[in-house]
Structures are given as C-alpha cells and as structure tokens.
Structure 1
Amino acid sequence: MSTASPPSTDDRQIGGFSLVGPGLVVAATGVGAADLVATVVAGQKFGYALLWAVVVGCLLKIALVEGAGRYTLATGNTIYEGWRSLGRWTSWYFAPYIVIWGFVYGSAAMAGTGLPLHSLFPALSVTWWGILSGLTGMALVLLSRYDVFEKICAALVGLMFVVMVTAAAFTLPNIPELLRGLVPTIPQGGLVNLLSVAGGVGGTITVAAYGYWIREKGWTTKRHMRLMRVDNTVAYVVTGLFVTATLIVGAELLYSSNQAVESGDKGLLQLSTVLADRYGEAVGTLFLMGFWAAAMSSLIGVWNGVSMMFADFAGDALGKPEDHPDRQAGGRWYTAYVLWLTFPPMLMMFLGKPIWLILAYGVLGAFFMPFMSVTLLWILNSDRVPRGWRNGPLSNLALLVCTALFAYLAVQQVVELAPKIGGLLGL
C-alpha cells in the first residue's frame, strides 16, 4: 500500500484550470486603452528599443501584486486595513481619491468602450454605446457571482490576447530586432516613454484590489500562498506577451513607415484604420473587437474590484466589524459605489468634463502607485505581518524600484498639470 500523502489543495488546483483567476482579472483590468496607446506610441517612436521595459514592468507588477496578496493571506486582513494600521493619514488621502477617481474614471471607461462599438456599429453614438456598456457592467457585477464575473473577464482577456497576437503576426515581426530590444538601452528622448511603458503594464488602483479578489475566489489562508504566487506570475506573463504584441504592432506598422497616431483612445481607432488599409477590413474589425474587449474588461474589473475597496473603506469609517455585510461585495456600500461609477459620470459624457475635477483626479491619481509601493514596503517589513511572511531582500529591492519609478512618474504628471492648475487659480 502506498503511504504517499494525497495532493494538497494547491497542487490539485495548479494542475487544473482553476489556477488562473484573480491574477488574470487584476492584470486584465489594469491593461486599458491608455496603456495600449502608450505601448503603440513607444513602438512607433523607437521600434523595439523599449521591449526590455515591458519585461521590467511585468516583473515590478508581479512583485507589487504578490506583496498585496501575501499581506492578505498572511494576516487575513484587507489592504485597506493594512493602510489603516499605519494611521489615519492614509484615509485622508484615500477618501477623496476614491470618490473623485470613481466619478472621472466612470466617464472615461464608458467612453473607452463606446469608441470601438461606435466604429463597429455607427447607428449609436459613442456616448450612448458608453452608457449601455456602463449599464451592462453595473448589471453584471450586481447580479452575478464572482465565479461568473471571473469567467467573463477570462473570455475578454482571451479575445484581447488573440486579437493582438494575430495583429502582431500579420506584421511579420523582425525577430533579430525584437531580440535586440531585450538588451537594456535608453534611446535619445525615450526616457519618458520608457517609464510609461514600464509603469503602465497592468494596473493602478486595481493592483490593490487583488487581495479582495483572492478572498472572493476562496483563497483565504497561508495554505493558498503558493497558488496565489503562481496565479499572479502566470497572469503577468500573459499580460507581458500581450503588451509585447502591442509593441510589435507599433514597431512594424508605424515605426517602419514613419506613421504616427494620436495619444488617447482615438489613437487606437487610427491604428485600426491603418490595419484595415494594410491587411483588409476584416483585420481592422478584429482589432476593434480586441480594443473593445480591453476597454470592457477594465470597466467591469473596476466596477467590481474598486467597489469592494470602497465598501471596506466606508464600513470601516462607520465602525462596522470586518465581517459585516456592509463591508463585503453585494453590501449597501458596494452597491452604492457601483451606482456612483455608473450614473453620475453619464452627466460628464453629455455636459463635458469640469476642469477642476479632472485636475484633482490627475493630482490624486499620480500619487496612488507611490502610495501603494511605500505602504507595502512599510507594512511588509513590520510586525503587522508574521515574521515568516515579511519581505526578503529581493522583494524589498523590487518595491524600492517601484517606488522610485512611480514617484518619478507622479512628479512628471504633476509638473504637466501645474500650468492648468495655475490657470484655474488665476496665477
């Protein structure tokens, strides 16, 4: 008779499809239209020279998300509870940020889904397609269980991945040049693009939602630590391949022919036109479907994940215990934030965007990733985490690099916003 012990829960899940879940959700939610455009523009300007920055960006996000997941599994606490343990100052930043961010992001997310849908089906305007997408996302996250939500995200990620890899294959990438792009170099005038590519691989505030998604998945104890790490790594490897395919499209389609696209979501519409002109309408249409999948996965991911973060914050502010329904998915504050993401932003789509709100969004948003990196460094090197699960030298190095990178990007963004803020204040 065999005396071997039965496989653990982790081993059984790693051997099956239930492995990939929350990591793919957080990575897919973080790769939106703006990140695609930043990567396409990097390829357009510098060819393959910044491919190595995609690899670095993936490694940094793996470290960042792993830290958030490790804290949740090692302590049983959410990331918001970790922030609160550092003092009330964290709430003074987080409260206005999540409220203003949700209002502005809701409008941007709906417009981002409306653009490709309007191009595919022009009978409705961008605004009305965006509103229908917002209502669809609202219904999905309010009425479905987490496992259904996860499967829909996985389907959208699959569509994104297949479309972008297919588009890259059509361009016939230059393999020797691609391999040379893995050697770290900074082309003249390319520092800002380098940092944008490295920093934009896979998420901002949704990185912090990872701990909530693993809880919804049922991964709640230290026994799930290995599973969480594999899930996170697999997800960002997939994301890295997707972003690499995007860079290839920019390098082969635009850099080689000296063509340019606009910044923002409209740049992707231009790219679909270039693809259609070069390879036929079917390829252009396929790209628009992938554009929509990227935008829609970000929308529903935020509607679900950030709403759980808000429920945790609001319930804590009202003195509710950690396990109170008001602090969980499906509770009153979760529902309230989903509605906040959906209905007030519709006004911005009709009436225009108030400049002061956009500026506040830009300033508060610029500091979220440095805030995330610094607080994780603080929390994961303290007695808030059991000794065996605290940071090692490699984790600390990765988070220090994250902090420096995101702090630089934050300062740069604020400097860019300064003239607009001065004009608004009459300075």
Structure 2
Amino acid sequence: MAGTTDSGTGEYGGTGGVAPDRAGPAAAPPAGTAANPGPRRSSWRYIGPGIVVAATGVGAGDLVATLIAGSTFGYTLLWAAIIGCVVKISLAEAAGRWHLATGTTLFEGWRSLGHWTTVYFAVYVVVWGFVYGATAMSSSALPLVALFPEGPGLKTWAVITGLVGLVFVWFNRYAVFEKVMTVLIGMKFLIVMYVAIRVAPRLGDAVAGLVPVLPDGSLLYTLGLIGGVGGTITMAAYGYWVNAKGWTDSRWMKVMRLDNRVAYITTGFFVVAMLIIGAELLHSSQIALTSGDRGLIDLGTILEDRFGVVTAKLFLVGFFATSFGALIGVWHGVSLMFADFVDRFIRERFGVDTEDMVEMVASGQRERSFMFRAYLLWLTFPPIGLLFLDEPFGLVVVYGVLGAFFMPFLALTLIWLLNSGRTPAQWRNGLLSNVMLTAAGLLFVVLCAKQVKDLIW
C-alpha cells in the first residue's frame, strides 16, 4: 500500500534508524541482532498484531451499523463496506510503517508537530477513556444477560466484565493477550459466517452490490459506513502492538504489511457477512432494529424465531466475543499509548524517566509500568460509577466531539509525518499511500463536521 521499497537502510544510518537526537533512550535493538532477529521474508507464522486490531476494532457498534445498512439498502452498499476496509488498511499500514521506519512511536512523531498535539490527546484520552469504559462494559454485558436471563442484571454483568478485563490485562503480557484475542476473533468469525450462510445469501444481488451506487438519501450514511468500520483509536494502537510483538525496525516491514492486510481482509469478511444478514433477514421483511448494541439482541430474537434456539445462542456467544474482544483490546492497546504519552511528556518536561521505563520498553514489558496500570484503573473504576448514573449531557457532547476529531487528526498527521524528513526517505509515502490517506482524511473531516453538528444542534 505504501508505494515504497521493502529494503534498504535509513537516511540516518542503520536499518531504518532515526536521527541520534530523536532515537531517545527507549530505542530497541536493531533487527538481525541476537536480541531481536529480523525475518528473512514475510511469513504467515509471524502474524498477530493484525489479529488483535481486527478483534479490537470491529466492535458490536460496527456490526450493528453494517447490519442496519443491509436492512435499509439491501446489498446496494456492499461496495462501501469494502472500500472502508481498504481505507483502514492504508491507515494502519501508515501507523505501523512510522513505528518500524523511525524506531519511534506515534507520540514522538506527534510531539514533533507541536505542543497542540499533546494538549489535544491529553484531553481526549482522559474523557474518551471515562465514557468508553462504561460503553464497553455495557456492550459486553448485553449478550450475557440474554444468555443467562436468570442471572445477574445488566449493570452487575457490566461490572464483572470490566473487572475480568482489568485482571486479565494487568497480569498478562502481550503474547498471552494475542493468543486470547485470536481465540475470540476465531469464535466470532466462525459464528458470523455460519449465520450468514444460514440466511442463504443471493449471490447475484451480492455481486451487483459491488458496483458503486448511491440510493436516494444515502450519501452521509455511505460515508459513515466507509469510515466507521474497523476501529478508531485502535488504528494508532496498531504500531504499539507491532512493537510489543518484537517488530522494531524496517526489517519487519514486509511482515507488518502482510499482518495488516490479513487483519482487514478478516474485517472485510465480518462486514460482508453482517451486511448479508441484514439484507436477507431484515431488508426483505422490513424489520427495524433498536439503535446501538441492543440491535444485536433484537437480531438474536429474530434468529431464534427463524432458525431455532441453538443458532440464536451461538450468535449471542459471537456477540459476546465481539464486545469483550474490543474491551480487552482497548484496555491493553490504549493503556500502552497512554503509558508512552506520559513517559515522553515527563521526560521532555523534567528530563527524567518514569520508573525504569527505558528498561521496560527495551524488553517489551511496558505493561509493567505504573502509567499503563494507572490507565487500566481509569478505564475500569470511574466508568463503573458512570454505569449507575445517567450520562451527563455535557460529558457526552465533549466525548463525541473529541472522538469525531480523532480520525481526521490521525489521517492528516500521518500524511504530514510520512511525507517529511522525520521519516527515512525510502519509507516515506508513495503516490498510492498519499492518495489513500488524503481520501481518508477528507472523508473523516466530512464525518467529523456532521457528527459535531449532530451533537451540538
């Protein structure tokens, strides 16, 4: 996707290295050394971070949005869902390429663009984490309430899922986390594909849906479908999971690109399967779903009426795997980002490192840091309080506005960073990457303006 070569040394020397004044004390040992050997070629056996992104980025809300697209327009917007996956491939590839080409993280890149990036992200990560924590716990609790109607209520299940996610991420490192995420994505993949096959898709209509068509009144909905499926902040977290996997410089570039494509091809299958389910089960019958994650509970009831209790229960299991995978993915990935953010801020402001952060980063053990665990607690306990309160209107508006700005922020800053001297010459954007990232940036600016307008007016 990048339109660049896959070999060579960085403009600053070494293998895709960075300028000495930018490398920082957290620079990892170069690939090809005993400490961090690089691969000779791309191989399926290396993939992993992409699976984590796919499991985290496709949450219950994404499935509902695609389901409603199918129920409203049939197969007509299938092309838009696929373009959305291609857009996300470009964004995640760009984030991963920055990490591997420069040997630094996105925060170091953002900081080089000015202090405004620090101010924006500081406010964003605090408010977003507070509201998202409650949302993720509620989403994970919904299928459990449907599976065990005689068990605890929604809020109790929500608290349980949040605490289980906290304990799991607190005591495990990336390798275990990746294995669990692989199991969760395998569950939801098999279940969603099974349900899509059960509803007997009309292949002719599905093929016709690959031709770009805009039904009346569908423009903004189509843009939302393109931009909304496959993750938001997890796009930025991808580079951190790449580093946690042990991929630290440009010798891993081919592997990262294969890994990223696998992630979004998998995402594409989810999207197509849910659109088929919406088109076949809902569109032809003119059945409307409840908005939000509760729409999946509605779908479970419809599946039970049509195909029996076993299919309905299986779907609810897939719903839980989707929601809980997104929960622990955010608990892990965004906590990594927060730890890096605070560490770099303190280092630059006070000239000191938090704890033994340098050693932790070099050994891939950032999960042990105080700041990582502090953000884990922030994602869990304050949102538990929010579960028992009506969400304050002002907080919801701030959350929505900050979230709306994140994807334009990510796309446009990646264009800036990857076309500048901050990136070694051979890893800068090619024509294709620039076209895709620019298109993504413009798309997200339009969606941002619409979302802010809807929130305020």
TM-score over 0.5 (shorter chain): yes
8 Å contact kept, 1:201–1:240: no
The aligned counterpart of 2:129 is 102
- Counterpart CA distance in 2 for 1:402 and 1:303 is 26
- Counterpart CA distance in 2 for 1:148 and 1:197 is 32
- Counterpart CA distance in 2 for 1:408 and 1:252 is 31
Letter in 1 for 2:147: L
Which of 131, 138, 144 aligns to 1:117? It is 144
- Counterpart CA distance in 1 for 2:44 and 2:105 is 28
- Runs of 4+ in structure 1 displaced over 2 angstroms? 8-13, 320-329
Letter in 2 for 1:370: P
Which of 330, 343, 358 aligns to 1:324? It is 358
Note closer, same or farther for the CA distance 1:41–1:331 as it changes in structure 2 (3 Å cut).
Answer: same
Which of 219, 223, 227 aligns to 1:195? It is 223
SS at match of 1:198: helix
The aligned counterpart of 2:422 is 384
The aligned counterpart of 2:311 is 283
Does residue 34 of the first structure (1) align with residue 68 of the second (2)?
A: no
The aligned counterpart of 1:274 is 302
Deviations 1:226-280 (A, max 9, x none): 0000000011101101111000000000001111102101111001100111110
The aligned counterpart of 1:53 is 80
SS at match of 1:343: helix
Which of 317, 322, 334 aligns to 1:306? It is 334
Does residue 77 of the first structure (1) align with residue 111 of the second (2)?
A: no
Letter in 2 for 1:362: G
Does residue 248 of the first structure (1) align with residue 286 of the second (2)?
A: no
Deviations 1:339-395 (A, max 9, x none): 000000000111221211111100000000000000000000000000000000100
8 Å contact kept, 1:254–1:260: yes
**How far is the alpha carbon of 1:329 from its aligned partner?**
2.2
Note closer, same or farther for the CA distance 1:11–1:255 as it changes in structure 2 (3 Å cut).
Answer: farther
The aligned counterpart of 1:4 is none
8 Å contact kept, 1:72–1:78: yes
Does residue 67 of the first structure (1) align with residue 94 of the second (2)?
A: yes
8 Å contact kept, 1:326–1:333: no
SS at match of 2:429: coil
8 Å contact kept, 1:29–1:301: yes
Deviations 1:100-150 (A, max 9, x none): 000000000000000000110121111111111111111111101211000
- Counterpart CA distance in 1 for 2:189 and 2:223 is 23
8 Å contact kept, 1:326–1:332: no
Which of 313, 316, 321 aligns to 1:293? It is 321
8 Å contact kept, 2:42–2:254: no
Letter in 2 for 1:359: V
Letter in 2 for 1:14: S
Which stretch shifts more, 99-108 or 310-319? 310-319
Query: Sequence identity, in percent?
Result: 51
The aligned counterpart of 1:370 is 408
**How far is the alpha carbon of 1:11 from its aligned partner?**
5.1
**How far is the alpha carbon of 1:325 from its aligned partner?**
5.7
Deviations 1:46-75 (A, max 9, x none): 000000011111111011000000000001
- Counterpart CA distance in 2 for 1:375 and 1:170 is 43
Which of 132, 135, 139 aligns to 2:167? It is 139
Does residue 166 of the first structure (1) align with residue 194 of the second (2)?
A: yes
8 Å contact kept, 2:41–2:254: no
Matches within 5 A, 1:225-236: 225-236=253-264
Segments of structure 2 that go 5 or more residues without pairing to the other structure are 1-36
- Counterpart CA distance in 2 for 1:212 and 1:228 is 12
Letter in 1 for 2:342: A
8 Å contact kept, 1:20–1:235: no
When you count helix as a share of all residues, which structure comes out higher?
1
8 Å contact kept, 1:26–1:210: yes
- Counterpart CA distance in 2 for 1:227 and 1:69 is 11
Note closer, same or farther for the CA distance 1:51–1:382 as it changes in structure 2 (3 Å cut).
Answer: same
Does residue 152 of the first structure (1) align with residue 180 of the second (2)?
A: yes
Deviations 1:275-313 (A, max 9, x none): 111110111111111111110010000000000111111
The aligned counterpart of 1:10 is 39
Letter in 1 for 2:445: A
The aligned counterpart of 1:92 is 119
8 Å contact kept, 1:199–1:405: yes
SS at match of 1:10: coil
Note closer, same or farther for the CA distance 1:312–1:126 as it changes in structure 2 (3 Å cut).
Answer: same
Deviations 1:76-123 (A, max 9, x none): 100111101101010111000000000000000000000000110121
Note closer, same or farther for the CA distance 1:354–1:369 as it changes in structure 2 (3 Å cut).
Answer: same
- Counterpart CA distance in 2 for 1:336 and 1:256 is 49
Letter in 1 for 2:379: L
8 Å contact kept, 2:166–2:377: yes
- Counterpart CA distance in 2 for 1:188 and 1:382 is 41
- Counterpart CA distance in 2 for 1:256 and 1:33 is 23
8 Å contact kept, 1:315–1:326: no
- Counterpart CA distance in 2 for 1:217 and 1:386 is 22
8 Å contact kept, 1:326–1:334: no
| Alignment coverage as a number of residue pairs | 410
Which stretch shifts more, 27-36 or 364-373? 27-36
